[in-house]
Structures are given as C-alpha cells and as structure tokens.
Amino acid sequence: MISFSITDKEIDSSTLKEKLGTAEDGAILVFEGVVRNHNEGKAVKSLFYEACESLASAEAERIMTEAVFKFGLSRIVCVHRTGHLNVGDVAVFVGVSTGHRGEAFAGCRYLIDEIKHRLPIWKKEHYLDGSHEWVNCSHHGHNAKHEHGEVSV
C-alpha cells in the first residue's frame, strides 16, 4: 500500500499513522516537517505552499515505487500541505512501515529527501519584518543545479 496526497487542510498525523503497519512489520517510522519560526537567520511569520498537483502526484508515485524497490518498504503514506501555514503547522508527513528498522530509517529518509528535491512544490516565506520571498528562487543563474537541491529542514 503506497499513498501520496496533497491537501489544504490540517494534516491529521494520528489518522494517517493508522494506515501503517501489517502483522509482518516490526518498524514504523513517521517524519513530520514542521514550520519553524526562523530560516537562514530570518524570523518567519508564516508560509505559503503552492503545488502543481498533477505533476507532483505522478512524480511522488515514481519516488514511492523507487523506495519500495530499494528498501522493501511494506507501506508508505505521504501527505504534503498547501496554502497558508503558521509556525508549528505540519507541512509534510512521511510515514513508512516494514520488517526491520534499518530499512524503515533508510526508506523514510530517501522519501523525504526526494520529495523535497523533486516534487513541484514551492514555498513563499513571509517574514516578521513584512518582507516575503520564494525560497530558493532569490539567488539564481550560476548554480541552478545546486539550488534545486537546496532544502530547509
């Protein structure tokens, strides 16, 4: 069972976690990316996430299939939030279950890394000083490949 979705509603981790785990699974691992009150030295007030849902869903399906193949994951549940988020809100949920913990840690880490690098999801940070910025879009041109790989959590 693998599942990815995008939602503009609050992420309900408890309900999502219930989808993980079978009688063969000894390890459940859940990662949550949460809005912090600062990023790269600036005080963050709120965030706005925007996604290209059709492309994100297609690419997420590829990422999850890779993770099953590489790490033998039994179940995967991923959800990414869009819209306006405040400090403390969950922006992304990545839950996995499988037989042993080694694969759970490696697989969950793979999923969140690839989600951050590959999915067409964008983040605008609103700062306490009133300014705002599309993250990773401000310094461009010379090292685009690196910028695509830049991540905040």
Q: Which residues of the shown chain bind a copy of itself in the complex (CB under 8 A)?
A: 13-14, 17, 21, 23-38, 87-88, 97, 99-101, 104-105, 108-109, 112, 152-153
Residue 62, number of CB atoms within 10 A of its CB? 11
Closer residue to other proteins in complex, CB, 43/55:
55
How many of the other CB atoms lie within 10 Å of CB of 35?
Answer: 21
52/68 with CB nearer other proteins: 52
**In degrees rounded to 5, what are phi and psi of residue 56?**
-65, -45
Q: What is the DSSP letter of 139?
A: S
Q: What is the DSSP string of 100-111?
A: SHHHHHHHHHHH
Of 29, 121, 26, 24, give the one whose Cα is nearest residue 67. Answer: 29
83 binds, options other proteins, a copy of itself, none, Cβ within 5 to 8 A by partner type: none
Q: C-beta of 111: minimal distance to other proteins in Å? A: 10
Min. distance of Cβ 124 from a copy of itself in angstroms? 17
The one of other proteins, a copy of itself, none whose footprint includes residue 92, by CB under 5 to 8 A per kind, is other proteins
